[in-house]
Amino acid sequence: MYSYHNEENKLTELFPHSGKSQALLTLSNGKTIQLQDTATFEIKESDGTIINYSSSQTMYGEDKATDKQILYNTLSVPRGGEHSLTLPDGTKVWVNAESSIRYPIHFVKSRIVELTGEAYFEVKKDDKMPFIVKVGDKKVRVLGTKFNILAYKSEPMFTTLVEGKVNIQVKSRTLDLKPNEQAEIAVDNSMITVRQVNATMYSSWATGVFEFEDTSLKDIMSQLSRWYNVKIEFASPEIEKIKFAGTILRNKTLGFALYIIQEVSDVKFEKEDNCIRVSKE
């Protein structure tokens, strides 16, 4: 007798991969520190600034610098990881897999950070000092708001607003977003498309959940590929276009995630060398 439970076990055994909190912190002097265990410890910058690390998050202490020297840190998250960060102004950032953020350890006259990859921001409101996220030659400017930026190299940039208001600048062009709006900017900046979306679908990853709504299998597998650090291969281009809706917990194994998708579709997943092959039943 066929058992769905057996199929789940089979996929879990084949794909036991799981993501975890991990990051590499690069200090202003170039020293790097691995952040991936459950320990709690303090890191001291060259100007005396205390950085607190505890399990899955990094927090900057109160601004005690006297000379206000602008020093930069970079937090890089590898494939298979994520990390949360509290900046000196109290802004919270969740940095996704295969992403990095560069930022000053003191916000003196401006609040400007640089992002590659994906991050979700909850910006501390400051009317006198807007918060700006630079992604290459593009800027997202806010006062206090919640939003997600998806901007991996060689891919379009997506800015999705959950709460508040953001202004996006692409060279000489600017536009404002309202809650539940998403701006897609072409790789070459040639086109900007704004659409209505359910914003939580694009920020839920920061709370430990993948949420999909009419999402292509190509986009789903791209997210799973980064989170579980695996390679994906499709048997045909048509399979990439199949769309799904559903929820997957990020703390589950890759095998369980694939089982959920397989149960509601006619696709199957097989292990081929160090790659996952996606084909139709």
The pLDDT tens digits of the residues spanning 26-39 come to 999 999 999 987 78
Percent of the chain having pLDDT more than 90?
78
Indicate if the pLDDT at residue 3 is higher than 50. Answer: no
- Kindly report, residue by residue over 55-90, the tens digit of the pLDDT: 789 999 766 555 567 899 999 999 999 999 999 999
Tally Cβ neighbours within 10 Å of residue 212: 19
Q: Identify the residue with better confidence: 223 or 1.
A: 223
What is the DSSP track for 96-112? -TTEEEEEESS-SS-EE
Mean pLDDT for the stretch of residues 172-186: 95
What kind and span of H or E run contains 47?
none
Q: Which residues contact 193 (CB under 8 A, 6 or more apart)?
A: 183, 184
Tell me, what's the pLDDT at 217? Answer: 95
Tell me, what's the pLDDT at 64? Answer: 52
Mean pLDDT for the stretch of residues 204-227: 94
Indicate if the pLDDT at residue 115 is higher than 90. Answer: yes
Question: What one-character DSSP code corresponds to residue 272?
Answer: E
Percent of the chain having pLDDT more than 70?
95
Tell me, what's the pLDDT at 100? Answer: 98
Q: What does the block give as tokens for 50? A: 């205390």
C-alpha to C-alpha distance for 186 and 194, rounded to whole angstroms: 12
Beta bridge partners of 102: 74, 114
